[in-house]
């Protein structure tokens, strides 16, 4: 009986040893390890790396030949013989997993078991720099950010080649280990803004960060607000320009968009192309964009309110047109407006999700066919169809994509309030919106600045843009350490040929 128990116990121990040995082996087939011997010193060393993130040509051409042929005894000698800049010597074995999965080759020497070396050999898979697709402009540079962080930092650094440009790298995401770079110009930026960004990034406890949009939603002052509290841009020239103003820029590895903060509502209607043209023309286009946004939000609610409650306020000539266009329409104005608004949104979403050529065809043909058919079928009036089409067209004038989504969304609350209480409901909804905007902030700075709190000096580059000779100071709400961009006299001085 005792012999049987001993045999059973021995078998159990053997099974445990086998299972522990299997568990100690790396499960992933992408982890490679090889051992070598130096031809001159007979030093035994091993290389360990992850094949999917390492460029094996770097190992074959820039690492192995030198380790096999050159003389080295200590692990510190590796830095002298390898033609690679990023070689790190460490005694912290807990870094092994993170380093090799980030594209480093682990080097061990048998005679120095207490030290290890990490040699950079990342595989670069990226696309070429292309023209901006969302913030395209006729005038100005034709290059946009791409996914690799180093390339994006290079595009910013070549525009601001000064030592005051500080770049701090952080790692965010428990699983993705995403690199995030925080950029600012020392001596100009208010360190409170930098500290706020740094503190919020350090506090992120999220598993995977795939894009800068994740960062924007997590660290926003009010994550439930439909208004973007950071400006995202794909233009390196815009990111460089706001750094000189005293703002903070965040670049995320794997994302072709940069985050800019703090920001204001007015900046959402500013195209960077405005600075490449005459200030009079730029001011005209800015006023046109703001008028277009107001038109896009209010035209259908005003139509519903006027036909539901305030038809006596409509002039007789206009009322005759409205009556003739609504003859035979069985639906009330609110349902008529909702059907057309939802149809426009469906066409827009379908066009955005389909391939480019098919999406353009769906948008044009679908709009014409559905619009014409709905009017002929008597479901909608041709006047409202024109208003909805103009409202959709006006919403595309915003240069920032995310504020365009916000405008599309807030039209529906205005429509509902207009149906319930007419023009009074529109005013009531506008008060709700204004209260929300007044309470909103970006990195703790007022979102409605310079309108509220009123700052007269900052109005020079908001709804209208004055000439460069008038924009001699940086925005007040940024509280920059250096408030002057250049002496005012330099912007006005003109030297005659005879001087």
Q: What is the pLDDT of residues 307-332, one digit of tens each?
A: 989 888 888 888 888 888 888 788 89
Residues 63 and 206 in one domain: no
Sequence-distant (6+) residues with CB within 8 A of 8 are none
State how far Cα 482 lies from the chain centre: 28
Other Cβ atoms less than 10 A from the Cβ of 334: the count is 20
* Cα gap 279→147, rounded to integer Å: 34
pLDDT tens digits, residue range 152-164?
A: 999 999 999 999 9
Q: How far is CA 448 from CA 195, 222, 252, 443, 455, in A?
A: 22, 14, 27, 13, 11
DSSP string across 57-78 = HHIIIIIHHHHHHS---SGGGH
Give the pair of three-digit tokens for residue 481.
Answer: 């350490």
The pLDDT of residue 498 is 54
DSSP string across 165-226 = EEEEEEEE-TTT-EEEEEEEETTTS-HHHHHHHHHHHHT---S---SHHHHHHHH-S-TT-S
Does the pLDDT at position 434 exceed 70?
yes
Does the pLDDT at position 463 exceed 60?
yes
Residues 389 and 336 in one domain: yes
* Cα gap 59→54, rounded to integer Å: 9
Residues 239 and 318 in one domain: no
The predicted model gives 469-492 an average pLDDT of 80
The pLDDT of residue 359 is 67
Does the pLDDT at position 470 exceed 60?
yes
**3-state class of 116 per DSSP?**
strand
Look at residues 205, 238, 263 and tell me which one is the last residue of a structural domain: 263
pLDDT tens digits, residue range 186-222?
A: 999 999 999 999 999 999 989 889 899 999 999 999 9
Does the pLDDT at position 14 exceed 50?
no
Does the pLDDT at position 124 exceed 50?
yes
Identify the H or E element spanning 261: strand 258-261
Does the pLDDT at position 112 exceed 90?
no
pLDDT above 90 covers a percentage of the chain that reads 36
Give the pair of three-digit tokens for residue 136.
Answer: 């395209």
Does the pLDDT at position 7 exceed 60?
no
Give the pair of three-digit tokens for residue 339.
Answer: 């059907």
Q: How many domains is the chain partitioned into structurally?
A: 3
Residue 174 lies in a domain: yes
The pLDDT of residue 491 is 52
Q: What share of the chain is helix, strand, coil (3-state, %, to 5)?
A: 50, 15, 35
The predicted model gives 353-377 an average pLDDT of 73
pLDDT tens digits, residue range 44-96?
A: 888 999 888 888 888 888 888 888 888 888 888 888 888 888 888 888 888 88
Is the bond preceding 193 in cis, omega lying within 30 degrees of 0?
no
The predicted model gives 17-34 an average pLDDT of 58
* Cα gap 203→467, rounded to integer Å: 42
* Cα gap 381→328, rounded to integer Å: 9
Residue 464 lies in a domain: no
Does the pLDDT at position 126 exceed 50?
yes
Query: Which has more confidence, 378 or 492?
Result: 378
Residue 472 lies in a domain: no
Confidence of residue 24 (pLDDT cuts 50, 70, 90): very low
Residues 180 and 44 in one domain: no
Does the pLDDT at position 239 exceed 90?
yes
The pLDDT of residue 190 is 93
The pLDDT of residue 15 is 47
DSSP string across 339-361 = HHHHHHHHHHHHHHHS-HHHHHH
Residue 56 lies in a domain: yes
Give the residue from 416, 420, 288 showing the smallest Cα distance to 341: 416
Residue 132 lies in a domain: no
Residues 320 and 440 in one domain: yes
Residues 285 and 424 in one domain: yes
Look at residues 426, 446, 466 and tell me which one is the last residue of a structural domain: 446
Among 7-11, 51-55, 180-184, 447-451, whose mean pLDDT is lowest? 7-11
Q: Residue with structure tokens 């038109």?
A: 295
Does the pLDDT at position 249 exceed 90?
yes
**3-state class of 362 per DSSP?**
helix
Range of the domain at 382: 277-446
* Cα gap 488→48, rounded to integer Å: 61
Identify the H or E element spanning 106: strand 104-109
Give the pair of three-digit tokens for residue 472.
Answer: 């001699």
The pLDDT of residue 492 is 58
The pLDDT of residue 20 is 42
* Cα gap 28→21, rounded to integer Å: 15
Residue 129 lies in a domain: no
The predicted model gives 103-117 an average pLDDT of 87
Give the residue from 342, 324, 340 showing the smallest Cα distance to 380: 340
Residue 415 lies in a domain: yes
Q: How far apart are the first and last CA of the chain?
A: 117
What is the overall mean pLDDT for the chain?
85
Residues 297 and 421 in one domain: yes
Confidence of residue 9 (pLDDT cuts 50, 70, 90): low
The pLDDT of residue 355 is 72
* Cα gap 252→223, rounded to integer Å: 19
Chain length of the chain: 499
Residues 290 and 242 in one domain: no
Other Cβ atoms less than 10 A from the Cβ of 16: the count is 10
Look at residues 406, 428, 446 and tell me which one is the last residue of a structural domain: 446
Does the pLDDT at position 286 exceed 90?
yes
Residues 206 and 306 in one domain: no
Report DSSP state, residue 135. S
The predicted model gives 131-136 an average pLDDT of 84
State the pTM of this model.
Answer: 0.82
Query: Which has more confidence, 352 or 98?
Result: 98
Q: How far is CA 166 from CA 157, 180, 187, in A?
A: 10, 13, 10
Does the pLDDT at position 443 exceed 80?
yes
Confidence of residue 490 (pLDDT cuts 50, 70, 90): low
The predicted model gives 349-358 an average pLDDT of 73
Other Cβ atoms less than 10 A from the Cβ of 468: the count is 13
* Cα gap 289→291, rounded to integer Å: 5
Residues 313 and 406 in one domain: yes
Other Cβ atoms less than 10 A from the Cβ of 437: the count is 16
The predicted model gives 435-451 an average pLDDT of 93
Query: Which has more confidence, 136 or 106?
Result: 106
- For Cα atoms 117, 119, 123, give the angle at the middle one, nearest 5 degrees: 150
If phi > 0 it is left, if psi is from -120 to 50 it is alpha, else beta; for residue 42 that is: left
Does the pLDDT at position 499 exceed 70?
no
Residue 442 lies in a domain: yes
The pLDDT of residue 18 is 38
The pLDDT of residue 8 is 52
Residues 347 and 258 in one domain: no
Residues 288 and 435 in one domain: yes
Does the pLDDT at position 23 exceed 80?
no
């Amino acid at each position: 009986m005792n012999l049987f128990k001993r045999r059973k116990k021995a078998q159990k121990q053997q099974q445990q040893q086998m299972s522990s040995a299997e568990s100690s082996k790396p499960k992933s087939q992408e982890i490679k390890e090889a051992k070598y011997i130096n031809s001159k010193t007979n030093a035994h060393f091993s290389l360990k790396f992850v094949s999917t993130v390492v460029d094996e040509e770097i190992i074959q051409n820039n690492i192995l030949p030198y380790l096999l042929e050159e003389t080295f005894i200590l692990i510190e000698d590796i830095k002298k013989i390898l033609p690679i800049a990023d070689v790190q010597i460490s005694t912290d074995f807990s870094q092994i997993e993170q380093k090799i999965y980030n594209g480093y080759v682990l080097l061990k020497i048998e005679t120095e078991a207490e030290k290890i070396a990490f040699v950079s050999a990342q595989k670069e898979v990226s696309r070429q720099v292309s023209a901006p697709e969302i913030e395209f402009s006729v005038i100005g540079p034709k290059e946009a950010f791409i996914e690799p962080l180093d390339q994006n930092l290079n595009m910013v650094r070549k525009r601001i080649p000064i030592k005051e440009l500080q770049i701090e790298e952080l790692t965010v995401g428990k699983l993705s280990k995403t690199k995030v770079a925080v950029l600012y110009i020392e001596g100009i930026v208010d360190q409170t803004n930098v500290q706020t960004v740094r503190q919020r990034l350090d506090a992120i406890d999220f598993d995977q960060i795939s894009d800068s949009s994740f960062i924007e939603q997590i660290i926003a002052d009010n994550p439930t607000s439909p208004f973007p509290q950071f400006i995202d841009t794909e233009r390196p020239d815009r990111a460089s320009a706001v750094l000189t103003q005293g703002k903070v820029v965040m670049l995320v590895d794997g994302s072709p968009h940069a985050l800019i903060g703090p920001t204001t509502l007015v900046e959402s209607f500013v195209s960077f192309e405005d600075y490449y043209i005459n200030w009079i023309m730029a001011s005209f286009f800015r006023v046109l964009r703001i008028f277009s946004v107001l038109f896009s939000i209010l035209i259908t609610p005003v139509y519903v309110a006027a036909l539901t409650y305030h038809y006596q306020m409509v002039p007789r000539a206009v009322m005759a047109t409205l009556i003739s266009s609504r003859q035979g329409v069985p639906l009330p104005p609110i349902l008529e407006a909702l059907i057309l608004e939802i149809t426009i949104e469906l066409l827009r979403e379908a066009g955005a999700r389909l391939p480019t050529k098919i999406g353009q065809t769906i948008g044009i043909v679908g709009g014409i066919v559905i619009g014409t058919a709905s009017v002929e079928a008597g479901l909608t009036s041709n006047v409202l169809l024109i208003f909805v089409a103009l409202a959709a067209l006006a919403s595309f004038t915003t240069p920032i994509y995310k504020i365009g989504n916000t405008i599309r969304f807030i039209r529906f609350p205005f429509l509902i309030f207009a149906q319930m209480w007419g023009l009074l409901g529109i005013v009531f909804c506008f008060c709700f919106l204004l209260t929300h905007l007044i309470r909103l902030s970006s990195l703790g700075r007022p979102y409605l600045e310079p309108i509220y709190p009123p700052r007269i000096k900052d109005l020079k580059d908001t709804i209208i843009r004055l000439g460069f000779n008038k924009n001699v100071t940086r925005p007040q709400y940024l509280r920059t350490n250096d408030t002057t961009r250049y002496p005012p006299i330099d912007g006005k001085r003109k030297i005659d040929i005879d001087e």
